[in-house]
Structure 1
Amino acid sequence: MTSPKTVLITGTSSGIGLAAAVGAARAGWTTIATMRDTRKADALRKAAAEADVADRIQVKRLDVTDPESIAACLHEVVAEYGGLDALINNAGAAQVGTIEQSSLDDVRAAMEVNFFGVVAMTRAVLPHLRATRGRVITVSSVGGAVGQPFNEAYCAAKFAVEGFMQSLSPVAATVGVDVTVIEPGAVASEFVANLDLDVPAMLAGSGPYAQALQAYIARTQRSFGNAQTPDEAAAPVIDALSADRPPFRIQTSQWARDFVATTLADLDGSAVRSLTDTWVR
């Protein structure tokens, strides 16, 4: 790059977002690292200092569920840097439970941050990205391609994100904007820990779903034992940020590629059902 380009990343207090912010800065990007609560920025600032890129990272407050927060942050960024070259939609929240035992408010909350937050951010930045022929990169999940037990609301949001982005991609391309989704599998980060789940209480209150939930939790604990690190999962995000023509869909590991391939070749849905049935039995 002949001059530093500017990228805005949401959800950078931990995990993939933090690693992507440091990676983007290391790759030479001026990085606007946003989070809902900037009091949680210490880990990012420490990582940036250790990577010797603290001067390329600016922390700003941004709540993707608040239109006024989005507008205020973008106004500051454009005023300070003259424009924006890329957006990385990373902010998200897990939601574990099955619909009979979840409230509609739980489902709406999951959709609000994981889907509508992505839509709102993308809508807000597109005029700026048209001007710079920039790109939108969205951290989705393998759960955006394969529906997973006890993740109904979360997977619904991620499926919606992928449908939205796949539909937007050819339209955005006509005005010079690339669109990419990143599909990680299990990542060893604070994303799941932040749920603060009381597993014994969940099991005690799960009624007819207790056996299935217990099997799902055991399987999930095993999968996170072999999880990618945030740096490993963020590396394809940085590759997509700098590539001349990034593909629409990128998985972050061979396991994720194999897992997503299950649904992409599954015309009648039986392969996915055969796989996920084993998670709850």
Structure 2
Amino acid sequence: MTTKTVLVTGTSSGIGLATAVALAEAGWRVIATMRDTGRAAALREAAGELPGLEVRALDVTDPASIDACLAGLDRLDAVVNNAGAGHVGTLELDSIEQIRGVLEVNFFGVLNVSKAALPLLRASGGRLLTVTSVGGVVGQPFNEAYCAAKFAVEGYLESLAPVAAQQGIAVTVVEPAAVASEFVGNVGGTDRGLEQDDRYGPAFAAYLAQVGQAFAAAQPVREAAEVIVATLAAERPPFRVQTSERARAVAALKLADTDGSAVQRATSGWIA
């Protein structure tokens, strides 16, 4: 059988790194991409002597970078859109430029990569899998811009899925909850201003306490990666997949909440 090829974005750390390694272990040819290949040491160490893993530079916000990364690929069976960036803040304190920047990476970055890959995926009858978040289902306090981007990704791909299916491409979103990775430590935003702000500081402190509790019981990153590998291997992957029971509980809260009141009660409790 022909070895299947998968492109994974954002593989310098976290879910992307673990997914690239797990896919290589499962026999895929893995194009592991990151904006700065100088940060590939952790991936190379984790992969060891695994065959079939190639590191390439790719900036999801730069179409020319994406085209250069895809150049020379005669086959592509799957894409894992994983690259992204967190952001904490709130509308009054964030600049519109900051909010646009979050959308540029987390929403338009997914579209840039997906658009460029679609012809190759159509040729192979492949899979387009995007790592979103439970924050793409349930809006979370002080994650307004990040959740807006993830909501946009989910809405766009849910709308694209039946169109892509007619082209032979299966579209899936994978929704983790808290995962034990470097992601939270790399979150950007106005958190220092929030902590010191008389209007928002107490609510933000309560939010941080809630986040601390969630990440104290975070899902191991390898476990989330294995869900992605299994989804790519499924004969008929569903559109929406959660990586843990916690993620399923959060998603169910929203998807069964037709008037929005259950979500509002839950998230208001996070900042009380």
Fold match (TM-score > 0.5): yes
Structure 2 counterpart of 1:195: 187
* 1:199 Cα deviation from its structure 2 partner: 5.7
* 1:235 Cα deviation from its structure 2 partner: 1.1
Deviation string 1:38-96 (CA, Å, 9 cap, x unpaired) is: 011000000000xx41x2110000000001101111114x1xxx211110000000000
Q: Which secondary structure does the structure 2 equivalent of 1:207 belong to? A: coil
With normalisation by structure 1, the TM-score equals 0.94
In structure 1, runs of 5+ residues without a counterpart are none
Q: Which secondary structure does the structure 1 equivalent of 2:32 belong to? A: strand
Q: Which amino acid aligns with 2:34?
A: M
* 1:195 Cα deviation from its structure 2 partner: 2.5
* 1:201 Cα deviation from its structure 2 partner: 5.4
Q: Which secondary structure does the structure 1 equivalent of 2:11 belong to? A: coil
Structure 2 counterpart of 1:75: 71
Structure 2 counterpart of 1:148: 140
Q: Which amino acid aligns with 2:218?
A: A
* 1:160 Cα deviation from its structure 2 partner: 0.3
From the two aligned structures, give the one with the greater helix fraction: 1
Structure 1 counterpart of 2:234: 243
How many residue pairs get aligned? The number is 272
- Say which of 99, 103, 107 aligns to 1:111: 103
Deviation string 1:141-196 (CA, Å, 9 cap, x unpaired) is: 00000000000000000000000110010000001000000000001111111136
**2:191, 2:111 → 1: CA distance?**
32
Structure 1 counterpart of 2:43: 44
- Say which of 213, 220, 224 aligns to 2:204: 213
**2:26, 2:253 → 1: CA distance?**
34
Structure 1 counterpart of 2:61: 65
Structure 2 counterpart of 1:276: 267
In structure 2, runs of 5+ residues without a counterpart are none
Q: From the superposition, tell whether residues 64 and 197 of structure 1 become closer, same or farther in structure 2 (CA, over 3 Å).
A: closer
Q: Which amino acid aligns with 1:246?
A: P
Structure 2 counterpart of 1:185: 177
Matched, 1:91 2:83: yes
Q: Which secondary structure does the structure 2 equivalent of 1:19 belong to? A: helix
With normalisation by structure 2, the TM-score equals 0.97
**1:198, 1:107 → 2: CA distance?**
11
- Say which of 110, 118, 122 aligns to 2:114: 122
* 1:207 Cα deviation from its structure 2 partner: 2.7
* 1:243 Cα deviation from its structure 2 partner: 1.1
Q: Within 5 A, what are the aligned runs for 1:28-39?
A: 28-39=27-38
Q: Which amino acid aligns with 1:152?
A: E
